[in-house]
Amino acid sequence: MHKIRISNNGAEPPLKIDLVEYIAQRTPSLFVPRVGELLEAAYYSAFQHAETFEEPERNRVLGSLRHYRQNEALRTAANAAGLVATSPHTNPKGERYSVVAAQDIRFTRTSVPFKNNLPRPALHRDAIAALNARLEPVNMSLFGPDQAYPSDGLGCLIVTVNPPRTENQSLPAAILVGVPHTNLRGWHLLEPLSTILAAQNPAEQIDVPDLAWAKLKKQLGDAEG
């Protein structure tokens, strides 16, 4: 059984390394590139549709179109990779959201502003984040040995980063995979999809479009600090 370590030692956090490997090993290799392609296509399609509206309605319509088209894209990518995708009702009812199961991992999606990498609170995202409680031990000695936690599921968010309003709105600034804290106020892991792709294809060179990830990561970090 694969175990996720929790440690306070080392320059490269072992938890981050383990989470990348955990996701890479349990997710079909087709899913990650496909979800990236389809989310970008959904984003562009939403932009094109929103442009048919007059200016007073355009921004509000754009956000809704992005949301629904990306939810559909997530399920389509899952189906293409042979995964189970569902669209439960929110509680209270009124909306639907998409959930993808890859072995014991549960994926859903969210969007965040360019200068704030934290998802908005929602009961369905709380439920996904709750799967990560074992990554947040209450009592852990700073000088004790690494602690091993058995596999008991993992909650992941596919995160679309919206571009600044002053920039082109037809494509996302970045598409990331995140493992949120249970309170949704931080991340155990937040990395580009290419990080998972690289872990799944260690001997190959992964060509990923330049989405200014280094600049984005710095700005998101500044916003958190």
Peptide bond into 164 cis (omega under 30): no
- List the single range of 77-81, 170-174, 198-202 with lowest mean pLDDT: 198-202
Specify the pLDDT at position 15: 85
pTM: 0.79
pLDDT at 2 over 90: no
Q: What is the mean pLDDT of the chain?
A: 83
Q: Band the pLDDT of 204: cuts 50, 70, 90.
A: low
pLDDT at 137 over 80: no
Contact 45, 67 (CB under 8 A): no
Question: Mean of the pLDDT values across residues 111-126?
Answer: 92
Residues 207, 208, 210, 215: what is their CA dihedral angle, to the nearest 10 degrees? -110
Task: Write out the DSSP string of 126-178.
Answer: HHHHHTTGGGS-SS--TTS--EEE----EEEEEEEEPPPTTS--SS-SEEEEE
Specify the pLDDT at position 205: 52
Alpha helices in the chain (DSSP H): 14-26, 31-50, 55-80, 123-130, 193-200, 213-224
> pLDDT for 32-42, tens place per residue?
999 999 999 99
| Sequence-separated (6 or more) residues with CB below 8 Å from residue 188 | 15, 16, 19, 132, 135, 179, 180, 181
